[in-house]
Structure 1
Amino acid sequence: MTDEAPQTAAPYGTPATPRIAVRGEAALEVDPETATLTVTASARGKDRRSVLQDLTRRNAALLELARGYGAAVEKLESGALSAGPEPAPHGRGERIRAYSGHVRITMVLNDFTALGDLTSRLTGVELTRVDGPWWALRPGSPAHREARRQAVQDAVTRAREYAEALGAELSALVELSDPGAEGARQPAPGFAAGRAFGAPAPGGAEEPPAIDLEPQRQTVHAQVNARFTMTPPAL
Structure 2
Amino acid sequence: MNTPQTPHHPHLTVRGEAHIETDPDLAHIQITLTARGTNPHTTLNDLTQRNTTAINLIRSYGPALHNLHTTNLTLTPQLTRHGRNEHIHTHHATTHLTATLNDFTALNELITRLTDIDLTRIDGPWWTLHPTSPTHTQARQQALTNAIQRARDYAHALGTELHTLIELDDTTPDHTPYPGPTQRLAFATESTEATPPPLDLQPQRQTITAHITARFTLHPPTL
TM-score (structure 2 length as normaliser): 0.87
Question: Corresponding residue for 1:224?
Answer: 212
Alignment of 1:133-148 (within 5 A): 133-148=125-140
2:93, 2:124 → 1: CA distance? Answer: 21
1:21, 1:80 → 2: CA distance? Answer: 46
Letter in 2 for 1:86: Q
Q: How far did residue 192 of structure 1 move?
A: 5.6
The match for 2:16 among 9, 24, 28 is 24
The match for 1:60 among 41, 49, 52 is 52
Structure 1 stretches lacking a partner, 5+ long = 1-11, 181-185
The match for 1:156 among 138, 143, 148 is 148
Identity %: 43
Alignment of 1:37-76 (within 5 A): 37-76=29-68
Matched, 1:233 2:221: yes
The match for 2:168 among 176, 180, 186 is 176
Q: Could you say if the C-alpha distance between residues 215 and 88 of structure 1 is closer, same or farther in structure 2, counting changes exceeding 3 Å?
A: same
Question: Corresponding residue for 1:126?
Answer: 118
Structure 2 stretches lacking a partner, 5+ long = none
More divergent stretch after superposition (89-98 vs 220-229): 89-98
The match for 2:184 among 175, 196, 207 is 196
Question: Corresponding residue for 2:108?
Answer: 116
2:6, 2:202 → 1: CA distance? Answer: 52
Verify the 8 A CA contact 1:178 1:224 in the aligned structure 2.
yes
Q: Could you say if the C-alpha distance between residues 90 and 29 of structure 1 is closer, same or farther in structure 2, counting changes exceeding 3 Å?
A: farther
1:70, 1:80 → 2: CA distance? Answer: 23
Question: Corresponding residue for 1:81?
Answer: 73
Q: How far did residue 105 of structure 1 move?
A: 1.2
Q: How far did residue 230 of structure 1 move?
A: 2.3
Question: Corresponding residue for 2:92?
Answer: 100
Aligned-residue Cα RMSD (Å) equals 2.4
Q: Could you say if the C-alpha distance between residues 51 and 91 of structure 1 is closer, same or farther in structure 2, counting changes exceeding 3 Å?
A: farther
1:13, 1:178 → 2: CA distance? Answer: 29
Q: How far did residue 227 of structure 1 move?
A: 1.7
TM-score (structure 1 length as normaliser): 0.83
Q: Would you tell me which structure has more strand in proportion to its own residues?
A: 2
Question: Corresponding residue for 1:208?
Answer: 196
Question: Corresponding residue for 1:8?
Answer: none
What is the aligned residue count? 218
